[in-house]
Structures are given as structure tokens and as C-alpha cells.
A and B are shown apart, each in its own frame.
Chain A
């Protein structure tokens, strides 16, 4: 398939760094989200994947600061005021969080919460926005949408809460939808339903999706492009088929190999382990962050390599293929 050079980018991130206090947690990350594409952002804890997304949305918590550019429609999101961001978020930019129970307001009815973006951004009145909220709940296939409008988040199951949050995020037909581990807290059968729903809605809305997850198979099933982060660096990027079938960074390869097959025995009867542990914030080695766990590392890895390649890019001195 391949991304044609003409595909317009909805968001162009360049040289994005995030600091937590005095420690740099995301190092000069750059990528584009092409219109209508679904991009998976893969990383473990401490990889900087969530910080990258929060920085783009202008949602970094206090004490964290971002530098660089994230250009959406000729506006640098990082340079916008809070007021300007508020006009975009919930309208053109939608976000779905991992834990709907903490992302939803526990003392506000579901209907009001789903209707809120429509009142704020579309100027709909109470009755009209509530009617739209009902349609949205039906669209995300929440059974008994009418009763659910008047219920509180704790009265819904985990899967229903996640659906309600998706309804809220898509209420104004956002151009960019960022979903941060949207199904990690869900059971596997519920996860499958929510992923199918997300897949369909992104198609119908023509939205651009950034899916943040540690789960590689989820990316395989939902995305067409993938970004891999480790230790605050973007270390590999490309089409899902290319990256998953012929990974070039040893970390990506190791992650893929660590997923046990469901229909084959383990090679040598052992799980394929990656040595060592993910270092804490500020404790990654200098240069390539993976070099202390990498079987291919040499002295040169003390210098961080640049992302190289056409379409399929990797930052490694000793790429796998």
C-alpha cells in the first residue's frame, strides 16, 4: 500500500521534547499523522508514549513542560493558549483515556457528559444536545441508551463506560482521535467489541487515529502505521506490515518475539525473554536507550543514531535487517 507523498498530514510533530522537572523524558520526537490513517504508538512504561500524546493535546500535568512543534492546520498546538486549545479539544481533537472510571465525572449523569462537547462547541441547547447524546450512545451500541442517559458512571459496566467515553470523544466528529490504551482495562471479549467499534467509527467519521498501546497484536489488527518508542526516543516507524514482518530495531524484534504463539509450542520450551528491566525515568543509558539490554550493542551505540530510511525508518547502528 505505502503512504503516498501527497497524503496530507493532519498533525506534524517535530523536535518534540518533554521534561519532567529537570529530566528530559521525551527526546526530540518527530512524526506525521497522515489524514485518515490509523497509527499505533507502541511503548512500555517510561517509553514516553503517553507524554508525547498529552503534549500534543496540551494536557501535560503541572511540572511537565514540552518544547518543539506539533502543527495542526498551520497552528502550532504547543504555542496555543489554553483558551485556544479548549476550543479545539473535544471538537477537532478528541481523546479517549485508559480508565473511563477516572476520566468520567462520577457525579454527573452520562447524558450530560456526552452532551457537554455539543453544548460547548456546537452551541446546542439542553434538549437538543441530550437528543444527540442519545443517538451517540446508540451509535456506540450501549444497550438501553435512554435509561443510560440518566445514569451515573458507576452504574455502567467497564465496557459501557469506555463506550460512553468514545461517544463523548466523537460527538463533534473530531479530525484527530487519540486513544490512550483504550482497551487495556477491559476483558478480552469486551476489548474485541470496543476495538471493532473504534475501527468502524474511525472509518465512518474519516478521522485520523493515534492509538497508544503496549499491545502489539492490537496495533496489528487496527492500524496501518506504527511508531515504536523506547526510553523517550522514537526508535522505529513504518507500515505495520513492514515493521512487524521485518523489524529493523533489535528492541522491536525482541518485543515481537516475546509474544507467545497461541498455536505453536515455545521454541526450546522457553518464553523469549528480553534481558534486564526497563530503567526508571532518567536512568536510561546515554546514546541508544536500549543498548544496555541489546545483544547487538557496541561502543558506537553510546551515540544516539538518527532515524534512517524511506517510509520504514529505524534508529539503530546495527539494524536487524
Chain B
């Protein structure tokens, strides 16, 4: 093992299909392939972006990685000790992801309670609040008292509570106001560095992936159509779909009026 980067996830030829509702009882059941023959590896400490449009299979892939869905074919392995503790997730919508009846302290410490991890709760809570840039006084308050960006910070603090090694983030800033997105993105940059996290970012926002991920997978109709180092894919996409996707992003410099 000389300078060989450690593999965290190994995904080999993974497929997952879902049954469509029968059109009529006498017609055969039809299936839709959400993920088809997908192979890749996630390396320790890297940040990997998974981009694609709705229906491309990126959310199904995330669920497969989390063990929330089982693949129909192929092999999907987490190579650490405990998937449940070491892999944590942050969802898109911080409003529905946080239980409105729990205080911030209860929300953030819930993973420790559920997993039965013995840690001094009080000091861990303060560490986590500090890590995500929330004041100590936040702990006794409730989710509705916070703005969208702060709620996403609470969700991130909860994900960090069991000291994960891998953080999966599903569209973590899409539901946030434009002017606060950058704060949360910078927080993810900092956490990755400070906690040596492996980051998997699922997003349709290529501008975010461009700067947060070293490597990216482009998905279309359940398949990975392009994979590579982010700067290379942006500068010289080899697949037609990636080219279309990149060309479709509106930019400030493309003006209607000269």
C-alpha cells in the first residue's frame, strides 16, 4: 500500500429498477431502470460530485449508497467499519428535514442517542454548534426560529454529530436564498478540510459542483455518461450530453443585448 488512495465506496455494475403501476391487470408489469450498470469508486478524502437532471438516477444512487435501497444487480460496498455511523447525509430542504417539535440541541444530539454513542453531550453540542457557525444560545431554540441557511447549518451539525467520515449532501443549497448559499458552501469547504471528510455532493447546479468537487460523475437516464476531474470535464467535455448540459447553463456574460 504505497501512496494508494484508500477506497471508501466500491460500486460495480449496480442497477436498480422500479416497477411502474400496471396499466391494466392483464398487461405485463413494466419497469423503469433508475440506475443501470453504474460503476465507480469513492476515495478517502476526495470530494465527488454527482450531477444530472431529474430522472437521471442521482437520488436513487444516493439511496443505494446509504443502504436505503438494495441494488437489483451488481455490487455496492462500503469499505469502512460502520456505514450507519460513518456515512451521514444532509438533505435539500432543511424545513422538512428537521422535526419542528424538537429543540436544536435534541435535533443535533439525536444521532448520538439513537446510535447509543457515549459522549459528553454538552461539550459535543457546543463543538458542533461552533463548527457550523451557530451561537451557543441556539441550542434551546426550535427550528422555526431560524432562517433557511441557519436551518441547513443545524442539519449539517446533526450529520456531523456521530463523527462521520463521509458526508453525502443532496442539493444542500438549492432551497436557500441566493445571498446565503455561498455561506453554506464555504461551510462545506471548511468542514471537509477541518474534519478530513469525504464529500459526495448530488446536485443539478454545475456552478456549485465546479468549485466544491475535485471529481464528478455526469448521469443521464440511470447511467454514468461521463466521469473525470472537474476542471477537465468543464474545459473539455467528451460526451455530447455533458456538452449540452454545460451549454445550457445561463451565464452572466451571455447577453441578449450587446
Q: Which residues of B contact A239 (CB under 8 A)?
A: 257
Q: Which residues of B contact A278 (CB under 8 A)?
A: 147, 177, 179-180
Q: Which residues of B contact A260 (CB under 8 A)?
A: 207-208, 210-211
> Are A241 and B186 interface neighbours, CB within 8 A?
no
Q: Name the segment of A16-24, A265-273, A298-306 touching the other chain.
A: A265-273
B118 within 8 A of A: no
Alpha-carbon gap, A260 to B208, bound state (A): 7
Q: Name the segment of A67-75, A99-107, A112-120, A216-224 touching the other chain.
A: A216-224
Shortest CB–CB separation between residue A242 and chain B, in angstroms? 10
From B178, B211, B235, B252, A266 is in contact (CB under 8 Å) with B211
* Contact A188 to B251, CB < 8 A, known contacts A262-B207, A273-B183: no
Alpha-carbon gap, A272 to B255, bound state (A): 23
From A191, A258, A266, B179 is in contact (CB under 8 Å) with A258
Q: Which residues of A contact B253 (CB under 8 A)?
A: 220
Alpha-carbon gap, A189 to B246, bound state (A): 9
A158 within 8 A of B: yes
Question: Interface residues of B, CB < 8 Å — how many?
Answer: 38
Q: Which residues of A contact B54 (CB under 8 A)?
A: 158, 187
> Are A217 and B250 interface neighbours, CB within 8 A?
yes
> Are A191 and B251 interface neighbours, CB within 8 A?
no
Q: Which residues of B contact A254 (CB under 8 A)?
A: 179
Docked complex: A278-305 residues within 8 A CB-CB of B: 278, 280, 293
Shortest CB–CB separation between residue B52 and chain A, in angstroms? 9
Alpha-carbon gap, A199 to B254, bound state (A): 14
A126 within 8 A of B: no
> Residue of B at shortest CB range from A183?
B250
> Are B257 and A240 interface neighbours, CB within 8 A?
yes
Shortest CB–CB separation between residue A80 and chain B, in angstroms? 33
Shortest CB–CB separation between residue B175 and chain A, in angstroms? 10
The size class of the interface chain A forms with chain B is 35 or more
Q: Which residues of A contact B147 (CB under 8 A)?
A: 277-278, 280
B245 within 8 A of A: yes
A158-176 contact mask (Cβ, 8 Å, vs B): 1 or 0: 1000000000000000000
Q: Which residues of B contact A220 (CB under 8 A)?
A: 250-256
Alpha-carbon gap, A202 to B257, bound state (A): 15
Q: Which residues of B contact A221 (CB under 8 A)?
A: 250-251, 254-256
Classify the secondary structure of B's interface with A: helix
* Contact A188 to B211, CB < 8 A, known contacts A221-B256, A258-B178: no
Docked complex: A190-215 residues within 8 A CB-CB of B: 190-192, 195, 199, 214-215
Q: Which residues of B contact A214 (CB under 8 A)?
A: 177-178
> Are B208 and A215 interface neighbours, CB within 8 A?
no
> Are B250 and A215 interface neighbours, CB within 8 A?
yes
Q: Which residues of B contact A272 (CB under 8 A)?
A: 182
Alpha-carbon gap, A190 to B54, bound state (A): 11
* Contact A187 to B252, CB < 8 A, known contacts A254-B179, A271-B182, A273-B186: no
Docked complex: B96-145 residues within 8 A CB-CB of A: none
> Residue of A at shortest CB range from B251?
A217
Docked complex: A229-264 residues within 8 A CB-CB of B: 239-241, 244, 254-256, 258-263
Q: Which residues of A contact B208 (CB under 8 A)?
A: 260
A76 within 8 A of B: no
Alpha-carbon gap, A224 to B255, bound state (A): 9
B15 within 8 A of A: no
> Are A191 and B234 interface neighbours, CB within 8 A?
no
Shortest CB–CB separation between residue A87 and chain B, in angstroms? 33
B73 within 8 A of A: no
> Are A258 and B181 interface neighbours, CB within 8 A?
yes
B8 within 8 A of A: no
Q: Which residues of A contact B256 (CB under 8 A)?
A: 38, 199, 220-224, 240
> Are B250 and A187 interface neighbours, CB within 8 A?
no
Q: Which residues of A contact B16 (CB under 8 A)?
A: none
Q: Which 6 residue pairs spanning A and B have beta carbons closest together?
A: A217-B250, A271-B182, A273-B182, A187-B53, A277-B147, A192-B248
- Residue numbers of A with Cβ under 8 A of B are 1, 38, 44-45, 158, 187-192, 195, 199, 214-218, 220-224, 239-241, 244, 254-256, 258-263, 265-266, 269-275, 277-278, 280, 293
